[in-house]
């Protein structure tokens, strides 16, 4: 079936959150694996994550780590063989749980943020929205960048599955009155909902989140056969870009309420460019850097250097102001 050393023919159990988006992402990873290991049997194991059931502020409950810890726990306990996460949900200021490793980052999806409006709206961009318009978002990073462009905007909190958010935006569900909403393009691509996009924010207007569009695939460090399989779907370019972005974030020691953005790109020669920003919650004050590195081998160092530049530019004070009680 395969020449992966030590592989025992068995059903590969892929753990994931139970949301529609997460199930699609897990299916994508399964498809990639089956394309590289013909005959491989896979089983998706949906797991209810604490972040999906918590109705309050994520900041108060411990941040986006709530979306990954329950799945990783099942992986630690041997109930699944693989865990699939959105990399941007994996805490950047904490090590992975004991015994787990980052095994693969498949090719990155489009990392940009996009504007959506109610189906009946004619607005085609942020500029088309009226003074004092409400633009819903669950992200402190997006909120800061929206307010930097339009201080008049209101930014109500919105959470839940993408489909639920769209129903709220269109007035089909109670709980939200908004003129627009900002979501990740990657998620809409995976769900086949790109027809709802009215405007794509270029990075100069809204710098993406660290790890945006990247899937992180975890496994147990001592599961040699699974680790070898997952290495087959690791994309070197995505891996390098994610390494640079995460290295910057880890150095900043940010938290779930830190408006931090980081976007690394690779040109045709293999050179990396990392753009990093840190914002106050109102978007009025920022620290900014843009640095390059000659190749993927320098990705971690690039992130470290970007972090140093941001700290020199006042990032520490900005992050501390953003902290709960700061």
Indicate which CATH number applies to the domain containing 254. 3.30.160.40
Based on the fold, state whether residues 132 and 154 are members of the same structural domain: yes
Q: How far is CA 57 from the centre of its chain?
A: 18
Torsion sign (Cα): 89, 66, 137, 28: positive
* Cα 123 versus chain centre, distance: 27
171: domain CATH number? 3.40.190.10
Q: Does a structural domain hold residue 270?
A: yes
In a domain, 3, yes or no: no
Q: Is 11 helix (H, G, I), strand (E, B) or coil?
A: coil
Q: Say if strands 82-86 and 100-104 run parallel, antiparallel, or are unpaired.
A: unpaired
Q: The tokens 């995505």 sit on which residue?
A: 238
pLDDT at 60: 47
Residues 37 and 55 in one domain: yes
Tell me, yes or no, whether 170 and 250 share the same domain: no
**Beta strands 12-17; 42-47: pairing state:** parallel
Query: Same domain, yes or no, for 130 and 98?
Result: no
Rg of the chain in Å (alpha carbons): 20
102 with 141, same domain: the answer is: no
DSSP-assigned states of every residue in 212-224: TT-EEEEEETT-H
Strand order in the sheet with 100-104: 42-47, 12-17, 82-86, 215-220, 100-104
96 and 120: one domain? no
Residue 152 makes CB contacts below 8 A (sequence gap 6+) with: 131, 132, 133
Whether 205 maps to a domain, the answer reads no
Q: Is residue 82 exposed (0-12), middle (13-18) or buried (19+ Cβ within 10 Å)?
A: buried
Q: What is the pLDDT of residue 303?
A: 98
pLDDT at 8: 53
291-325 burial, b at 16+ Cβ within 10 Å, e below that, comes to bebeebebbbebbbbbbbbbbebebeebbeebeee
pLDDT for the residue numbered 254: 66
- Residue identified by tokens 């700290």 is 311
- The whole domain housing 263 covers 245-322
Q: Are residues 250 and 283 in the same domain?
A: yes
Asked if residue 99 and residue 38 are part of one domain, the reply reads: yes
Domain annotation covers residue 60: yes
24 and 170 share a domain? no
Q: What is the pLDDT of residues 177-221, one digit of tens each?
A: 999 999 999 999 999 999 999 999 999 999 999 999 999 999 999
Instruction: Answer whether 151's CB lies under 8 Å from 181's CB.
Output: no
Give pLDDT, residue 302: 98
Tell me how far apart the alpha carbons of residues 246 and 36 are, in angstroms, rounded to a whole number.
Answer: 27
The three-state secondary structure class of 137 is: coil
223 shares its domain with 89: yes
Mean pLDDT of the chain: 90
Q: Are residues 250 and 291 in the same domain?
A: yes
Cite the active site residues: 89
Check residue 297 and report its DSSP letter. Answer: G
Return the pLDDT at 255.
58
Residue ranges of the chain whose pLDDT lies below 50: 1, 53-63, 326
**Are residues 119 and 88 part of one domain?**
no
Looking at the domain assignment, is residue 229 inside a domain?
yes
Q: Do the Cβ atoms of 118 and 253 come closer than 8 Å?
A: no
Report yes or no on 278 lying in a domain: yes
By CB neighbour count within 10 A (0-12 exposed, 13-18 middle, 19+ buried), where does 195 fall?
exposed
Q: How far apart are CA 320 and CA 287, in angstroms?
A: 13
Rounded to two decimals, the pTM is 0.90
Q: Is residue 208 part of a domain?
A: no
Say how many domains are in the chain. Answer: 3
> In the prediction, which pLDDT does 56 show?
47
Asked whether residue 261 is domain-assigned, the answer is yes
What is the per-residue pLDDT for 322?
Answer: 66
């Amino acid at each position: 079936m395969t020449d992966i050393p030590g592989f025992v023919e068995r059903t590969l159990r892929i753990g994931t959150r139970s949301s529609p988006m997460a199930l699609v992402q897990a299916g994508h990873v399964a498809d990639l694996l089956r394309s590289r290991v013909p005959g491989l049997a896979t089983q998706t194991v949906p797991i209810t994550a604490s972040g999906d059931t918590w109705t309050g502020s994520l900041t108060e409950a411990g941040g986006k780590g709530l979306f990954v810890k329950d799945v990783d726990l099942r992986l630690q306990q041997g109930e699944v063989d693989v865990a699939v996460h959105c990399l941007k949900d994996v805490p950047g200021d904490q090590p992975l749980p004991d015994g787990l490793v980052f095994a693969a980052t498949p090719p990155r999806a489009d990392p940009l943020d996009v504007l959506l409006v109610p189906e009946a709206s004619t607005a085609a961009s942020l500029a088309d929205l009226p003074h004092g318009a409400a633009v819903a978002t669950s992200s402190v990073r997006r909120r800061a960048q929206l307010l930097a462009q339009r201080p008049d905007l209101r930014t109500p909190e919105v959470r839940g599955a993408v489909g639920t958010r769209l129903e709220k935006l269109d007035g089909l569900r109670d709980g939200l009155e908004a003129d627009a909403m900002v979501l990740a393009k990657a998620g809409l691509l995976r769900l086949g909902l790109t027809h709802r996009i009215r405007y794509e924010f270029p990075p100069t207007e809204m710098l993406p989140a660290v790890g945006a569009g990247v899937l992180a695939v975890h496994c147990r460090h001592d599961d040699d056969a699974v680790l070898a399989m997952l290495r087959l779907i690791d994309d070197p370019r995505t891996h390098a870009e994610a390494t640079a972005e995460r290295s910057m974030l880890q150095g900043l020691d940010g938290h779930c309420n830190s408006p931090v953005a980081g976007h690394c790109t690779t040109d045709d020669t293999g050179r990396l460019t990392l753009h990093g920003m840190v914002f106050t919650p109102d978007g009025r004050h920022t620290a900014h850097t843009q640095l390059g590195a000659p190749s993927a081998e320098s990705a971690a160092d690039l992130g470290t250097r970007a972090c140093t530049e941001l700290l020199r530019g006042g990032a520490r004070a900005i992050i501390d102001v953003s902290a709960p009680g700061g």
